[in-house]
Amino acid sequence: MKKIFLIMLTIFLFVPMLAQEESQNVRKGNKFYDKERYVDAEIEYRKGLEKNRNSFPGMFNLGNSLYRQGKYVESAHQFQQALNQVDSSDKKKRSAVYHNLGNSLLKVYETGPDSVKSKALNGSIESYKQALRSNPKDDETRTNLAYAQTLLHQLQQQQQQQNQNQQKEEQKEQQEQEQSQANEQEQQETSPQQQNSEQMSKENAEQILDAILQDEKDVQEKVKKQAIKSKHYNVSKDW
C-alpha cells in the first residue's frame, strides 16, 4: 500500500506543470500547490474556471488539489469533467486523467461507505485500464491496476463469505421456525389425549368409589340380616 501511495504522489506533483500556459489564476494555483497549500490552490483554480469554464488545466489541477484535501468524490468528478475537454487523439492527457481518476476512485473505495465500495473499486479498475490503453508503457498505472484488482478479489471473497453466512443464518432460522411449528402441532395433538385420559381417570375413580360404596352397603345388609337371625336365636335359647 505504501508503494502505491508513493506512485500516486509522484504523478500528482508532476501533472500540474501541464498548465504553465494557462490563465494567471491557474499559474498562481500551481505555485500554491507546489507549496502544499492545497486550499489556496483550489481557490485559484476555481477563479480560473470562472473565467474559462472549459479550461482543461483548471479542471485537472482542481481535481489534484481536491484529492490532496481528501475530497475524493469531488476530485473524481473534476477528472471526469476534464476528460470531456481532452481530444481522443491526445494520449498523454487522457492517460494522465484516467490515472488520476483511478486514484480518486480507489480512495473512495478505501474511505467511503460500504454502499459505494464495489462501484468505486470497479470504476477505479476501469479507469486504470483506460489509462493503459492510452499509454501501455505506464508501469505506475499497471502497478495500481494490479493492486486494485487484488482488492476487488478480496472484496468478492468477503461478499461471498457474507452471503454464505447469511444463507446459513436464514436456514437456521427456517429450521427453528419449522421445529417450533412441529412442537406446537404436536402439543395440539397431544392435548386432547391428555384431556381424555384425565376424563377416563376421573370416571374410573368414580366407578371404583361407587363399587366400594356398593360393597360396603352389601356388607351392612348382610350384617343386619345376621344380627336379626342372632337375636331370634338368642331369644329362643333363653326361653
pLDDT single digits (tens) 97-128: 999 999 999 999 999 999 999 999 999 999 99
- Residue that wins the pLDDT comparison between 197 and 56: 56
Q: How far apart are CA 201 and CA 207, in angstroms?
A: 10
Residue listed under C-alpha cell 460500504: 114
State whether residue 21 is helix, strand or coil: coil
Over residues 155-172, the mean pLDDT reads: 86
Residue listed under C-alpha cell 374410573: 204
Residue listed under C-alpha cell 345376621: 226
- Report the pLDDT value the prediction gives residue 27, as an integer from 0 to 100: 92
- Report the pLDDT value the prediction gives residue 46, as an integer from 0 to 100: 96
Over residues 158-172, the mean pLDDT reads: 85
Residue 167 pLDDT level (bands cut at 50, 70, 90)? confident
**pLDDT above 70 for 64:** yes
Give which of 67, 70, 65 is closest to 31, Cα–Cα. Answer: 65
Q: How far apart are CA 119 and CA 196, in angstroms?
A: 66
State whether residue 69 is helix, strand or coil: coil
* DSSP characters over 153-173: HHHHHHHHHHHHHHHHHHHHH
Per-residue pLDDT of 29-49, as tens digits, reads 999 999 999 999 999 999 999
- Report the pLDDT value the prediction gives residue 132, as an integer from 0 to 100: 97
Average pLDDT, the chain: 81
**pLDDT above 90 for 137:** yes
Half-sphere exposure of 225 (CA within 13 A, CB side): 6
Q: Do residues 130 and 147 lie in contact, with contact meaning Cβ atoms separated by under 8 Å?
A: no
Domain assignment present for residue 30? The answer is yes
**pLDDT above 60 for 94:** yes
Residue 12 pLDDT level (bands cut at 50, 70, 90)? very low
Domain assignment present for residue 11? The answer is yes
Domain assignment present for residue 204? The answer is no
Give which of 84, 79, 122, 82 is closest to 104, Cα–Cα. Answer: 79
Domain that holds residue 48: 2-163
Q: Which three cell numbers stand for residue 184?
A: 406446537
In angstroms, how far is CA 60 from the centroid of its own chain? 35
Domain assignment present for residue 216? The answer is no
Helix orientation angle between 2-14 and 56-68, rounded to the nearest 10 degrees:
150
Domain assignment present for residue 207? The answer is no
Per-residue pLDDT of 194-206, as tens digits, reads 556 556 666 776 7
**pLDDT above 50 for 77:** yes
How many separate domains does the chain show? 1
Task: Tell me the H-state helices in 69-138.
Answer: 72-83, 91-111, 114-134
Residue 98 sits in a domain whose CATH number is: 1.25.40.10
